[in-house]
């Protein structure tokens, strides 16, 4: 590297020549190349770290799902070990724990009869050796010795129809009441007695009253905010549909937000105070569903009263006019 000595006004110094500048540029280029290599290595490491982080997150998610599955109540699968009168001894699979429970009336006898019918049918063509549970042995023997006491096979295969209980009747009554109220409003609009705007007003009152009272029930049960919001949003619709209930949706949301654990299923029977019951997640789900439904029922009743008063319709006069018009259709001139 060449340097030039400069003398001026009694001072001596060094000045870089073009060769020196070239060396400096080459040195800077080498440093830039090294920095580029280091940058490439860092980017590669960051990419590897991102992939590893993604794998860790997937592993954590799988572990969380497994933990949530462990929190769910296990299925109770058991075998009948012994039957005495109307009591049965069950042995749970896996743990071998034994439980004594009451047999539903007629359940064991129906199974004995069904097995006996099939054994007698098979014995018509060949000899039959049957291996049955100890709980069915006496019943099957009794039927085989007295086959005339066997009920018809069709009776054994028929699935009992669900009874039309008082709960369904009450539910349908409230739904019919709600539909009848809106029908009266629509008829009033058709006849010109009520402004069409009043239908929107009626729907608004219906939405607010049903929603507020159903949400209040869920809140009274100390439900999750999302459960309360669910009850508020669906109550107006479920009160018009006998196949749905606001409490069902609120209860499902509560179970999703605060999933009952196995301990909740076990401890609910041991709770001695109201506070212990309220702290149980399973009881909380049931209470949210029940009170949200109760609020929706009250909302239906109050909503009908409010709509009738706001719209100014007279149900008696409106129904009388409907019946008169129907009667006029079937009246022929003499």
Q: Could you give the angle at the alpha carbon of 264 between the alpha carbons of 258 and 266, nearest 5°?
A: 165
Q: Could you give the angle at the alpha carbon of 60 between the alpha carbons of 225 and 284, nearest 5°?
A: 25
User: Bridge-partner residues for 92, per DSSP?
Assistant: 78
- Identify the burial level of 90 via C-beta atoms within 10 angstroms of its C-beta, where 0-12 means exposed, 13-18 middle and 19 or more buried: middle
* CB hemisphere CA count around 32 (13 angstroms): 6
User: Bridge-partner residues for 13, per DSSP?
Assistant: 6
Domain edges within the chain: 1-40, 81-157, 166-329
Rounded to 10 degrees, the C-alpha dihedral 31/32/33/36 comes to 120
- CA gap 40, 33 in Å, rounded: 11
3-state secondary structure of 168: helix
Look at the block and give the residue holding tokens 């699979």: 93
Q: What number of H helices and E strands is found in the chain?
A: 12, 5
Q: Which helix (H) or strand (E) holds 82?
A: strand 78-84
DSSP state of 196: T
Look at the block and give the residue holding tokens 């669900």: 162
Q: Tokens representing 23?
A: 């060396």
pLDDT of residue 8: 47
- CA gap 218, 287 in Å, rounded: 8
From residue 56, give the alpha-carbon distance in Å to each of 18, 50, 51, 70, 203: 57, 10, 9, 21, 51
Would you say 253 and 227 are in contact if contact means Cβ atoms under 8 Å apart? Answer: yes
pLDDT of residue 278: 79
User: Quick count: other Cβ atoms within 10 Å of Cβ 220?
Assistant: 15
- Identify the burial level of 226 via C-beta atoms within 10 angstroms of its C-beta, where 0-12 means exposed, 13-18 middle and 19 or more buried: middle
Look at the block and give the residue holding tokens 């590893």: 52
pLDDT of residue 198: 80
Q: Which helix (H) or strand (E) holds 79?
A: strand 78-84
Q: Could you give the angle at the alpha carbon of 290 between the alpha carbons of 286 and 294, nearest 5°?
A: 170
- CA gap 56, 304 in Å, rounded: 57
Could you list the pLDDT tens digit for every one of the 334 residues in the chain?
444 444 444 454 445 555 666 777 788 888 888 888 888 888 888 888 888 888 888 888 888 877 766 555 554 566 666 666 667 776 765 556 666 776 665 666 777 888 888 888 877 777 778 777 766 777 888 888 888 887 777 766 666 666 656 666 766 776 777 777 777 777 777 777 677 788 788 888 889 999 999 999 999 998 999 999 999 999 888 887 777 888 889 999 998 888 888 777 777 777 777 787 878 888 889 899 999 999 988 988 898 888 888 877 766 665 566 556 555 555 655 5
pLDDT of residue 226: 93
Whole-structure pTM value: 0.50
pLDDT of residue 148: 82
* CB hemisphere CA count around 161 (13 angstroms): 3
């Amino acid at each position: 590297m060449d340097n030039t000595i400069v003398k001026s006004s009694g001072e001596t110094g060094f000045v870089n020549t073009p060769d020196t500048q070239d060396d400096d540029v080459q040195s800077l280029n080498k440093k830039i190349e090294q920095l580029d290599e280091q940058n490439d290595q860092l980017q590669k490491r960051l990419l590897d770290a991102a992939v590893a982080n993604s794998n860790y997150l997937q592993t954590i998610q799988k572990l969380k799902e497994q933990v949530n599955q462990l929190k769910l109540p296990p299925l109770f699968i058991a075998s009948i070990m012994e039957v005495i009168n109307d009591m049965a001894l069950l042995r749970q699979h896996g743990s071998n724990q034994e439980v004594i429970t009451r047999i539903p009336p007629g359940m064991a006898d129906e199974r004995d009869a069904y097995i006996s019918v099939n054994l007698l049918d098979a014995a018509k063509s060949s000899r039959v050796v049957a291996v049955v549970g100890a709980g069915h042995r006496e019943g099957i023997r009794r039927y085989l010795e007295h086959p005339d006491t066997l009920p018809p096979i069709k009776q054994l295969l028929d699935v009992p129809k669900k009874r039309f209980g008082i709960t369904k009747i009450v539910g349908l009554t409230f739904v019919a009441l709600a539909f009848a109220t809106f029908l009266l409003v629509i008829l009033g609009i058709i006849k010109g007695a009520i402004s069409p705007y009043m239908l929107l007003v009626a729907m608004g009152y219906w939405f607010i009253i049903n929603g507020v009272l159903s949400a209040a029930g869920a809140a009274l049960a100390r439900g999750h905010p999302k459960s309360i919001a669910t009850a508020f949003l669906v109550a107006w619709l479920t009160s018009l549909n006998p196949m749905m209930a606001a409490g069902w949706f609120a209860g499902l949301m509560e179970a999703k937000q605060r999933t009952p654990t196995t301990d909740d299923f076990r401890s609910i029977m041991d709770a001695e105070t109201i506070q212990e019951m309220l702290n149980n997640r399973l009881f909380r789900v049931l209470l949210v569903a029940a009170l949200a439904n109760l609020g929706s029922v009250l909302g239906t009743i109050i909503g009908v009263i409010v709509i009738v008063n706001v719209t100014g319709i007279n149900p008696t006069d409106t129904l009388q006019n409907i019946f008169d018009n129907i009667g006029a259709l079937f009246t022929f001139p003499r």
